[in-house]
């Protein structure tokens, strides 16, 4: 497989996302620092400006992706006080988008979308295998747009989930720094 010369390596994209979020936090008067390398579950530790409240942030970055961010089964578990910052680098030229969400919402989205993945058959009608990989999508409904009659596989709550988290659902989380405790 030939690597796209213009696309940065995944580790570079991840690091760029962490530093971008860190700089945004600092300019917003948070006391923040990168967590030590290989810290489990988060990338940045944040104190409010008074120093009496702290919380971690997990940064997930994607580069020129139409699908969203790759997560894992561990992201189905809510972590108290954890926030996520999802960074979307459309290209090296455009200003990236940052979406801020609570761990509880991410856990729900990742869990429900994976349950739907397991219920809906693949392109050739085969059953999907369970894996540790999960995804936070820009548009969960679009993922299944080519599947005829989803009501054969999904219940009304799962159909409602796809409708609610379809194109545009992320807009309320774009630059939602107000969700962080300051």
In the predicted structure, residue 1 carries a pLDDT above the cut 60: no
Q: What is the pLDDT of residues 97-148, one digit of tens each?
A: 999 999 999 999 999 999 999 999 988 889 999 999 999 999 999 999 988 8
Residue 166 φ then ψ, to 5°: -95, -170
In the predicted structure, residue 3 carries a pLDDT above the cut 50: no
Q: What is the pLDDT of residue 48?
A: 75
Q: What is the pLDDT of residue 5?
A: 62
Average pLDDT for residues 165-182, to the nearest whole number?
93
Q: What is the pLDDT of residue 4?
A: 55
In the predicted structure, residue 182 carries a pLDDT above the cut 80: no
Q: What is the pLDDT of residue 52?
A: 84
Q: What is the pLDDT of residues 58-97, one digit of tens each?
A: 999 999 888 899 999 999 999 999 999 999 998 778 899 9
């Amino acid at each position: 497989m030939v690597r796209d010369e213009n696309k940065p390596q995944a580790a570079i994209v991840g690091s760029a996302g962490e530093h971008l979020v860190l700089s945004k936090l600092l300019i917003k008067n948070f006391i923040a620092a990168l967590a030590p390398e290989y810290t489990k579950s988060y990338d940045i530790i944040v104190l409010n400006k008074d120093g009496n409240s702290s919380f971690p942030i997990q940064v997930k970055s994607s580069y020129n992706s139409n699908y969203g961010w790759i997560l894992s089964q561990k992201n189905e578990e809510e972590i108290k006080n954890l926030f996520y910052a999802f960074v979307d680098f459309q290209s090296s030229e455009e200003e990236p988008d940052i979406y801020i969400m609570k761990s509880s919402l991410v856990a729900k989205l990742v869990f429900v979308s994976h349950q739907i993945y397991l219920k809906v058959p693949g392109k050739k009608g085969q059953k999907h295998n369970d894996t540790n990989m999960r995804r936070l999508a820009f548009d969960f409904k679009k993922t299944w747009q080519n599947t005829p009659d989803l009501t054969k596989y999904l219940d009304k709550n799962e159909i409602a989930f796809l409708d609610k988290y379809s194109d545009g659902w992320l807009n309320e989380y774009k630059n939602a720094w107000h969700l962080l405790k300051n």
